[in-house]
């Protein structure tokens, strides 16, 4: 992402707007090329494709910003949110659990939608994702840049182990520096975080050493080179006629990723068991990257083709029992029959199979995280033990 360090005061600042526009177009194209190259290198399956597409979006926004324009992520986010038919407060994405079949009922805070009954990952909410979009900082860019040459060398040498180690470093930096792009489970659950990084790295290995996936990446780079940019400094746009060939390649990349995911048995490594969401995550990341640069009719068509036309239903908390998370103290609603839930406040998996436990020191009651025998009371820090309830 070295191109992001471009000096905005370089020659040409005083040229007529036509030249500025040309320069912007060239710059956008260079950005897109570079991001697509990374997209190819790292995008070993859906979630990493998503990560890359989000980086791409961030790079394009930064390109526009460094051109001296006021194209903040604010404008861009507003454009995307307008397309995605914003829900009113008190609504949640319509979806049902692939594991237990339950419909989603309780409110969500991030893009990652977890089951209210069994804590499985159910869906990915593009609208929430766009709300929380933040450009990756320089620390992440530095890690990616530092790993690039060595990653290429490892692929050429057929050295999977070195490649895996490099990718682990990249994804560790991703989880640390771009937390809004990753599930909230990664915030406090170290076992989840570790498994997620390992999973992403293994997916990266699967793709980097697959000739068909590499051929698709090369094709993607070519298509991105063919993109035509328009609009102005304030709101750069991409010409839909030049854009659809990119979408065609993405469609094939998603299919390729699905096959790789299965043959490399990556589903066994995925801490969210999200194999059924492979395509959705890839399309979501791609849409996050490009929606804001498309005219409204083309944007609507992209969402339709991606199967991401969002629908929302009212939150249903009826019959829920009020509980508090033993990890963060946050209040949540446990629906009748629920076994586990991911806390929207801290991302810990909370075990609903056991009753609330009282703190002997401050009297607060709480539900312990799954697998934990004790916690530091989130209200007074006193030790609260599972056995203390007996």
Q: Residue 375, interface with Zn ion (CB under 5 A)?
A: no
Which residue of 252, 380, 383, 388 would you call a contact of Zn ion, by CB under 5 A? 380
Cα(268)–Cα(273) distance, rounded to whole angstroms?
Answer: 7
- Which lies closer to Zn ion via its Cβ, residue 57 or residue 352? 352
Q: Which two tokens stand for residue 247?
A: 């979408």
Which residue of 327, 349, 357, 367 would you call a contact of Zn ion, by CB under 5 A? 327
Residue 123: CB minimum distance to Zn ion, A: 11
Which residue of 142, 212, 215, 362 would you call a contact of Zn ion, by CB under 5 A? 362
Which residue of 87, 320, 330, 358 would you call a contact of Zn ion, by CB under 5 A? 330
Q: Report residue 167: phi and psi, to 5°.
A: -70, -35
* C-alpha to C-alpha distances, 171 to 23, 134, 140, 384, nearest whole angstrom: 33, 17, 9, 34
- Which lies closer to Zn ion via its Cβ, residue 187 or residue 207? 187
Q: Which two tokens stand for residue 337?
A: 């029959």
DSSP 251-295: HHHHHHHHHHHHHTTGGGT-TT--GGGHHHHHHHHHHHHHGGGS-
Which residue of 39, 112, 114, 117 would you call a contact of Zn ion, by CB under 5 A? 117
Which residue of 361, 371, 376, 388 would you call a contact of Zn ion, by CB under 5 A? 361
Q: Residue 99, interface with Zn ion (CB under 5 A)?
A: yes
- Which lies closer to Zn ion via its Cβ, residue 115 or residue 129? 115
Residue 294: CB minimum distance to Zn ion, A: 35
Q: Which two tokens stand for residue 151?
A: 């990653």
- Which lies closer to Zn ion via its Cβ, residue 102 or residue 313? 102
Q: Residue 76, interface with Zn ion (CB under 5 A)?
A: no
Q: What is the separation, in whole angstroms, between the first and last Cα of the chain?
A: 57
Which residue of 22, 37, 81, 118 would you call a contact of Zn ion, by CB under 5 A? 118
Q: Residue 115, interface with Zn ion (CB under 5 A)?
A: yes
Q: Residue 114, interface with Zn ion (CB under 5 A)?
A: no
Q: Residue 341, interface with Zn ion (CB under 5 A)?
A: no
Q: Which residues pair with 231 in a beta bridge?
A: 236
Residue 4: CB minimum distance to Zn ion, A: 35
Strand ranges inside the chain, DSSP E: 91-93, 112-114, 121-124, 229-231, 236-238, 312-314, 321-324, 331-334, 340-342, 349-351, 357-358, 365-366, 374-376, 383-385
Which residue of 24, 281, 342, 359 would you call a contact of Zn ion, by CB under 5 A? 359
**Candidates 15-23, 27-35, 94-102, 173-181; binding stretch for Zn ion (CB under 5 A):** 94-102
Q: Which residues pair with 102 in a beta bridge?
A: none
Q: Radius of gyration over alpha carbons of the chain, in Å?
A: 22
Which residue of 328, 334, 366, 370 would you call a contact of Zn ion, by CB under 5 A? 328
Size of the site for Zn ion (CB under 5 A): 23
**Candidates 214-222, 241-249, 307-315, 381-389; binding stretch for Zn ion (CB under 5 A):** 381-389
- Which lies closer to Zn ion via its Cβ, residue 203 or residue 377? 377
- Which lies closer to Zn ion via its Cβ, residue 149 or residue 380? 380
Which residue of 306, 343, 352, 375 would you call a contact of Zn ion, by CB under 5 A? 343
Q: Residue 97, interface with Zn ion (CB under 5 A)?
A: yes
Q: Residue 376, interface with Zn ion (CB under 5 A)?
A: no
- Please return the burial class of 156, using the count of CB atoms within 10 Å of its CB with bins 0-12, 13-18 and 19+: exposed
Buried b / exposed e over 135-150, threshold 16 CB at 10 Å, is bbeeebbebbeebbee
Q: Which two tokens stand for residue 297?
A: 């009719």
286 close to 53: Cβ distance less than 8 angstroms: yes
- Which lies closer to Zn ion via its Cβ, residue 212 or residue 380? 380
60 close to 33: Cβ distance less than 8 angstroms: no
CA nearest neighbour of 285 among 299, 265, 304, 306: 306
Q: Residue 325, interface with Zn ion (CB under 5 A)?
A: yes
Residue 131: CB minimum distance to Zn ion, A: 21
Site of interaction with Zn ion (CB under 5 A): 97, 99-100, 102, 115, 117-118, 120, 325, 327-328, 330, 343, 345-346, 359, 361-362, 364, 377, 379-380, 382
């Amino acid at each position: 992402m070295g191109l992001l360090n471009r000096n905005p005061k370089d020659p040409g600042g005083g040229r007529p707007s036509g030249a500025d526009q040309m320069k912007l177009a060239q710059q956008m194209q260079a950005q897109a090329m570079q991001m697509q190259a990374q997209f190819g290198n790292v995008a070993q399956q859906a979630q990493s494709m998503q990560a890359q597409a989000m980086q791409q979006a961030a790079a394009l926004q930064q390109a526009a910003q460094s051109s001296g324009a006021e194209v903040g992520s604010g404008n861009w986010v507003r454009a995307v949110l307008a397309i995605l038919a914003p829900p009113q407060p008190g609504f949640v994405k319509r979806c049902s659990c692939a594991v237990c079949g339950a419909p989603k009922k309780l409110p969500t805070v991030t893009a990652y939608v977890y089951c209210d009954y069994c804590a499985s990952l159910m869906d990915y909410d593009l609208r929430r994702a766009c709300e929380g979009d933040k450009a990756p900082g320089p620390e992440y860019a530095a890690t990616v840049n530092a790993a690039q040459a060595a990653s290429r060398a490892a692929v050429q040498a057929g050295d999977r182990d070195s490649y895996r180690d490099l990718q682990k470093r990249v994804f560790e930096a991703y989880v640390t520096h771009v937390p809004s792009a990753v599930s909230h489970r990664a915030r406090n659950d170290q076992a989840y975080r570790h498994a997620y990084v390992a999973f992403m790295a293994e997916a990266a290995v699967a793709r980097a050493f697959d000739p068909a996936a590499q051929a698709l990446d090369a094709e993607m780079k070519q298509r991105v080179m063919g993109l035509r940019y328009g609009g102005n400094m304030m709101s750069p746009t991409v010409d839909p006629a030049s854009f659809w060939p990119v979408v065609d390649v993405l469609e094939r990349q998603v299919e390729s990723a699905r096959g790789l995911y299965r043959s490399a048995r990556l589903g066994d490594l995925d801490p969210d068991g999200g194999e059924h969401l492979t395509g959705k995550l890839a399309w979501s990341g791609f849409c996050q990257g490009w929606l804001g640069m498309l005219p409204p009719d083309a944007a609507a068509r992209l969402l339709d083709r991606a199967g991401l036309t969002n629908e929302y239903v009212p939150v249903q908390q009826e019959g829920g029992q009020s509980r508090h998370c033993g990890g963060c103290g946050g209040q949540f609603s446990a629906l009748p029959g629920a076994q586990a839930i991911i806390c929207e406040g801290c991302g810990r998996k909370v075990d609903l199979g056991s009753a609330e436990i009282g703190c002997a020191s401050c009297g607060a009651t709480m539900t312990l995280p799954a697998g934990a025998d004790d916690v530091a009371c989130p209200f007074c820090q006193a030790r609260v033990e599972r056995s203390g309830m007996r």
